[in-house]
Amino acid sequence: MSENNDLQQQLFKYIRQELPPHISLVDELSELLELSVDSVYRRIRGEKLISMSELKKICEHYRVSVDQFLHLENETLIFHAPGLNVISQDLSEYMNKMHEYFRHFNSFQSKQIFYLCKDIPFWYFFLYPEIAAFKLFFWERTVNNNPAFTSSRFSLEEHHFADCYKLGQQILELHNKMNSIELWNLESIHSTINQIAYYKDAGVFRNEDEFDKVVSSFSILLDHLEEQTKTGIKSLPGRGLSAGTIEFYVNELILGNNTILLKLDDRKTAMVTYNILSYLSTSEERFVTKTFDTFNSLLKRSTLISETGEKERNKFFNRLREKTGELKRSGSAVQYTGS
């Protein structure tokens, strides 16, 4: 009985730590389990054991695995995988979910995001409408295999994705309120360059002007990221500085996968990509600790180019511009890689 009590109290302690400070665990559980406040308190204090049906409801609602409280020393983990049961990922639903995530992140008093960038982070494409429209078109046509786009040629007039762009700007605003540490590599822009080049070679752009507008938009996106890196503070074009700070690191030797790590008050979470756009997430202590350790180890072998490090910063962004310039001059990339 005491062992069950201990596990039950660990479960509720974990859930309480996961919730933003302004959310009442007792009120939420009372509504979720359809119990009185007094009954909930007795379960939280361990005076009454929760039933299997109550445990199921709690674990499903808070996306918790019981395994982590049993202290099983194995290599099996439970991840949350949004979109796993969806045949085709609707972009508006995907972005609404991301918007929901960032609103949740910002509900914490202390919030910090760490990003290992194999590619440019999703939200940065919404700095400018032309490159955002191209990426949304690419995801619909090539990643989602949306039949509505299969035979379409890209046109900014026809494929402006106004609603998604507006939502993307909102996601970017929420992201900009968080402090960030980003770890980049020269390869981080290659997938976008290759996508643009491939569509150019395949005749997917409606005309040369559409191609030029997308490349120019991508170029000024890099300019904005450089300016943001120079100040060490996030910003939006034409709207000044935001509240969040950014530490921008470059590692020219190691290219990992897209990984997001979060510190939300005392809580830590790891998110890794699967299926190109989707993320697996977990707060399992062993996995999160190991992933943070790897990230910090990479940082020690990387160069900080935000605020200080002007020479290295200019060198890095000039090399990115060279690659973009080659794309504009030739309309082709050196090689085509994944998305």
Residues 6+ apart with CB under 8 A from 258: 115, 116, 117, 118, 119, 121, 272, 273
Q: What are phi and psi of 263, to 5 degrees?
A: -120, 110
CA angle 115, 116, 119 (to 5 degrees): 100
Task: Give me the residue spans of the domains in the chain.
Answer: 2-70, 91-330
pLDDT at 339: 41
Residues 232-249, mean pLDDT to the nearest whole number: 88
Query: For the segment 62-78, what is each residue's pLDDT rounded down to a tens digit?
Result: 777 666 666 555 566 67
User: Cα(176)–Cα(174) distance, rounded to whole angstroms?
Assistant: 5
With a cut of 50, say whether residue 334 has pLDDT above it. Answer: no
Q: What is the CATH superfamily name and number for domain 2-70?
A: lambda repressor-like DNA-binding domains (1.10.260.40)
Nearest in space to 7 (alpha carbons), one of 65, 60, 63: 65
Task: Considering only residues 2 and 122, tell me which one the structure prediction assigns the higher pLDDT.
Answer: 122
With a cut of 90, say whether residue 125 has pLDDT above it. Answer: yes
Share of the chain above pLDDT 90, in %: 49
With a cut of 60, say whether residue 336 has pLDDT above it. Answer: no
User: Cα(193)–Cα(338) distance, rounded to whole angstroms?
Assistant: 11
pLDDT at 313: 94
Task: Considering only residues 111 and 239, tell me which one the structure prediction assigns the higher pLDDT.
Answer: 111
